[in-house]
Amino acid sequence: MASAAERMRAMRARRRNDGLREIRLLVPDARSDITRRRIAEQVRLLNPATERDALDWIEEVSEDDASR
């Protein structure tokens, strides 16, 4: 049986041959207390009046996507 490293190398080669490229993303861990506190603080600072345009646009494009 091939080693894990060999299997990963083969998988990456297959993906490259399929025109795919692997990327890695690092995102905040939503399970962490500090991240949750930061998000809560940002949400608290949002002003619904100034966010209305963005919310209306999101609703409009999501309804448009559903009709396709």
Dihedral, 3, 4, 8, 9 alpha carbons, nearest 10: -30
The Cα 59–Cα 43 span in angstroms is 19
Overall domain count for the chain: 1
What are the tens digits of pLDDT across the range 23-58?
999 999 999 999 999 999 999 999 988 899 888 889
Residue 63's pLDDT band (cuts 50, 70, 90): confident
Given a cut of 60, whether residue 68 has pLDDT beyond it is: no
Average per-residue pLDDT in the chain? 90
Q: What range does the domain containing 37 cover?
A: 4-66
